[in-house]
Amino acid sequence: RGMTPLGAIQAGTLNTADLLGTPDRGRLAPGLLADIIAVPGNPLADIRALERVSFVMKGGRVYKQ
């Protein structure tokens, strides 16, 4: 059956950050750095939404695809 969409997203974000000893990464919270992506749709309902990235924000700058 595999991982749930939430489990897969967490494995690639906050779980990885914690394993690497960088708990200030991999999550959205006040005062933390935020590199994010936006996708059309809800990746928790359909993980394939992550294949259709609308934009990337890195270091406070938006990069449009």
The pTM score is 0.78
CB atoms within 10 A of CB 14: 15
The structural domains of the chain, ordered by start, are 5-64 (2.30.40.10)
Amino acid at 17: A
Burial of 56 (0-12, 13-18, 19+ CB in 10 A): middle
And the tokens for 16?
């990885």
- Whether 60 has a pLDDT exceeding 90, the answer reads no
Q: Which residue has the tokens 């359909």?
A: 46
**pLDDT tens per residue across span 4-45:** 999 999 999 999 999 999 988 888 889 888 889 999 999 999
Sign, CA torsion 34/39/40/42: negative
